[in-house]
Amino acid sequence: MDKTQHSGRRQTATERRRRELLEAAERIVLRDGPDASMNAIAAEAGITKPILYRHFGDKGGLYRALAVRHTDALLDNLRTALDAPVLRRDRVEATLDAYLVAIETRPQVYRFLMHPAEQQGQAESGFDVGRHSAPLLRRLGEELAKVISDRLDLGPEGEERARVWGHGIVGMMHAAGDWWLRERPCSREKLVEHLTDLLWGQLATVKDVAGGSGF
């Protein structure tokens, strides 16, 4: 076997082991949510914590790997929704619903990625979830902006407008979804309908309350 083949096989084995560790981490996250610890993940994987650190560096490295894994899956679902051969409003609804389905079906993973346990910042090497979740949301915004730019003719300021819309829509989905997941004030379908109305320009068409000055 030459050096290239040996190196390729070693890389494949490393990637497979990394995937197995991420799957073990995901099982613990699904069980413990934001309280998931490196000790519990290492135990689930049948290894020691130093070996886990060897693969990911620290909890931040593991977090980033899990975030990429779930962001990739979410983006695939969002692209599928945006490419569906249906009316544009239906595509908007499907896109919003794809995001909400993702956080509704795996709430513990969502909470791990977006909300630290109360003591987590001090518990594991000063891990700061906010420092890591912000890039995740920025990536979603940039990817959605690219999809919008590729599929819509937005004129001479198209790239700028697409980025504003992409980050704005992601911010809206994140804030509204976070609130909805905590309080469940309505069904997911009703939330999708309300958010689509907002994106569809209904704010410009509804009347002000009598005697009010509006926005």
Local structure of 18: helix, strand or coil: helix
Listed range (6-10, 99-103, 160-164, 181-185) with the worst mean pLDDT = 6-10
Q: Domain coordinates of the chain in residue numbers?
A: 59-202
For the entire predicted model, the pTM comes to 0.78
DSSP-H helix ranges across 57-183 = 59-82, 88-105, 107-114, 120-123, 129-151, 158-183
Is residue 33 packed enough to be buried (19+ CB in 10 Å), middle (13-18) or exposed (0-12)? middle
Residues 63-75 have pLDDT tens digits of 888 888 888 888 8
pLDDT of residue 34: 81
Residues 109-158 have pLDDT tens digits of 888 888 766 444 444 545 555 666 778 889 889 988 998 888 888 888 88
Comparing CA positions, the residue from 33, 68, 38 lying closest to residue 54 is 38
User: How far is residue 65's CA from residue 72's CA, in Å, rounded to a whole number?
Assistant: 11
Rounded percentage of the chain residues whose pLDDT exceeds 70: 81
pLDDT of residue 202: 66
Is residue 101 packed enough to be buried (19+ CB in 10 Å), middle (13-18) or exposed (0-12)? middle
pLDDT of residue 112: 85
User: How far is residue 114's CA from residue 99's CA, in Å, rounded to a whole number?
Assistant: 14
Residue showing tokens 């919003």: 96
Distances (CA, A) of 193 to 2, 33, 42: 59, 29, 42
Domain 59-202, CATH class in plain words: mainly alpha
Q: What is the DSSP letter of 125?
A: T
- Terminal-to-terminal C-alpha distance of the chain: 72
User: How far is residue 74's CA from residue 80's CA, in Å, rounded to a whole number?
Assistant: 10
Report the pLDDT averaged over residues 83-108: 91
